[in-house]
Amino acid sequence: MTSETGHKLVESLDLGVDPRAIKKEVRRLVTPKSVSEYRAKISSKANLPEGVILDPAAGSGGQLLAYSKYLDRPCAAVELSPQRADFCAYQFSKASNNSSVITICGDGTDAQGVMSIVESKTGQTSICMLHVDPARPMDTQKHAVSEMQPSLSVLLESWSEYIHVGPDGPAMTLDLSPRLARQQMLEIEDIVLAVFPRTSMTWEWLSRGGGRVDRLCLQTGPLADIGSASRSVRLWNDGSFSTLHDDGDILDAYDMGWSDYKLCLGDLVALIDPVIPKSGLRGVFEECAGYARGELVWIGKSERRPLALLHEEIHSGSEVRPFVVTQGVVVGRMASKLDLMSIDSLASLAMENNIATIQVRCSLEPRLHKRITDRLRQILGQIHGSPGFLIEDGGSEDLVLCKELEV
């Protein structure tokens, strides 16, 4: 089936290539299944109107497949690349609930052309939710928002005629690079508001615990946390998740700053998930941990490994505990950098403090990481003691050894 605008309905029987041959091409486009299912579960709790869930730049189709699994709505995937469209159709044909998903090969910014096929196949005349994951340059901090493809402004203008707009705006998830600068985020907000004024918006930073922000998205309308501009999510391997959000409807651009505090023996420090500072929720974290805003000392030698100087342990029942990677007491310092020559000194320091294992939480060349950790494991293997971790000091070039608190 082909529309007058050249959009083509892709059936699984239309596949003219071996899907295994194009799987490698789309692999980098695939959203992790745990993330896709989390988003679908969250979206299923929103009060969505009747209509079709549409992804106008579907890539591998994994996110739309999750929506079709958890939301009782027909779904439409649009993909400009014929090869990727074929792969989408193949993926959907393998799923048990594939009857609710259609694949269209064509321009996702041509809403009229897409809807001519959507209406004929589903009987629906409106879009209840839009999921957009635009292609973007690898280093988004050095490129303009206008370089994302498809263009967000063109895309939203085109679909404004078909997407349902409720009192809080349309239901949209814009899946964006977690490396976006704050100014670029504000630029994207302006694009949304230019097409859909008075739309509620929430930025969501998501971590899977690998020491980085894995995903950033802007959720609007019924998908947003009304009255909250920012949300941090820690997604666990079993699909469960923990959240922390602010209580303001304006994204706070205020930077609390970082300290160059030099850690001392006996200091209690916590390694914090980077989604907290990236989302601007350090103040919320402090309040939920029992501190006043601005009371904690934040040490940011590395964006991936933010540290907080604590007065007391953050216990397991705390709302912010899921965002604490580890916490411990400073027991020693090393004035040298970590390399193959300094391993024995570090091991001796660990044994003096009854530390049996060491997690390296500082910058280290990947080629050396395994060799050093294997050697430490070999030396400390017969020690019966506590776990520890090695971090970078905030006020010097020293490395700091901490003994992890008992859980």
Among 179, 211, 245, residue at a domain's last position: 245
Contact 392, 337 (CB under 8 A): no
**What Å distances lie between residue 156 and 82, 104, 166, CA to CA?**
23, 18, 16
322 shares a domain with 228: no
29 and 122 housed in the same domain: yes
Q: What residues make up the domain containing 334?
A: 268-404
Q: Does 170 share its domain with 279?
A: no
Distance CA 360, CA 103 (A): 46
Question: 241: Cβ–Cβ under 8 A, 6 or more apart, which residues?
Answer: 38, 233, 234, 235
- 152 and 238 in a single domain? The answer is yes
Considering the domain architecture, whether residues 169 and 272 belong to the same structural domain is answered as no
401: which 2 tokens? 């050894």
Both 238 and 275 in one domain: the answer is no
User: Would you report the helix, strand and coil content of the chain in percent, each value rounded to 5?
Assistant: 30, 25, 45
**240 plus 276 within the same structural domain:** no
For residues 230 and 303, state if they share a domain.
no
- What residues does 103 pair with on adjacent strands? 10, 77
| 342 domain residue, yes or no | yes
**Are 90 and 165 within one domain?**
yes
Between vectors from CA 284 to CA 191 and to CA 296, what angle results, nearest 5°? 125
272 forms bridges with which residues in the sheet?
324
pLDDT per position in the chain (407 positions), as tens? 666 667 889 876 555 556 555 555 556 667 899 999 999 999 999 999 999 999 999 988 999 999 999 998 999 999 998 888 988 888 888 876 556 899 999 999 999 999 999 999 999 999 999 999 988 766 545 667 878 888 999 999 999 999 999 999 999 999 999 988 889 999 999 999 999 999 999 999 999 998 889 999 999 999 999 889 999 999 999 999 999 998 775 555 445 688 999 999 999 999 999 999 999 999 999 999 999 988 999 997 777 899 999 999 999 899 999 999 999 999 999 988 899 999 999 999 999 999 999 999 988 888 899 999 999 999 998 889 999 999 999 888 899 999 999 76
- Among candidates 50, 56, 96, which has minimal Cα distance to 73? 50
Residue 232 contacts residue 284 (beta carbons within 8 Å): no
Residue 224 counted as domain residue: yes
Residue 156 included in any domain: yes
355-360 vs 324-334, strand pairing mode: unpaired
So what's the pLDDT on residue 27?
Answer: 60
Total of domains in the chain: 2
Residue 355 is predicted with a pLDDT of: 96
CA–CA distance, 38 with 236 (Å, rounded to integer): 10
SS3 39: helix
Q: Which helix (H) or strand (E) holds 84?
A: helix 82-94
Q: String of b and e for 368-403 (b: at least 16 CB within 10 Å)?
A: eeeebbeebeebbeeeeebbbbbbbbbeeebbbbbb
* 183 occurs within a structural domain: yes
14 within domain boundaries: yes
Assigned domain for 12 exists = yes
CA atoms of 189 and 218, how far apart (whole Å) = 9
DSSP state letter for 383: -
In one-letter notation, the amino acid at residue 111 is: A
Single residue among 213, 245, 277 that ends a domain in this structure: 245
For residue 347, the surrounding DSSP H or E stretch is helix 343-352
Question: What pLDDT is stored for residue 232 in this prediction?
Answer: 96
Of 245, 260, 280, the residue at which a domain comes to its end is: 245
What is the per-residue pLDDT for 42? Answer: 95
Q: What's the length of the chain? A: 407
Closest CA to 63 of 130, 7, 113, 153: 130
241/273 same-domain check: no
Residue 2 lies in a domain: no
| Domain match, 14 and 74 both | yes
Element (H, E) at 155: helix 152-159
Question: Do 358 and 304 touch, CB atoms closer than 8 A?
Answer: no
Residue 3 belongs to some domain of the structure: no
Instruction: State residue 139's pLDDT score.
Output: 53
Are residues 59 and 185 both part of a single domain? yes
CATH code (residue 189): 3.40.50.150
- Give DSSP secondary structure letters for 91-115: HHHHSTTGGGEEEEES-TT-HHHHH
With beta carbons less than 8 A apart as the criterion, state whether 291 and 243 touch: no
pTM for the full model?
Answer: 0.90
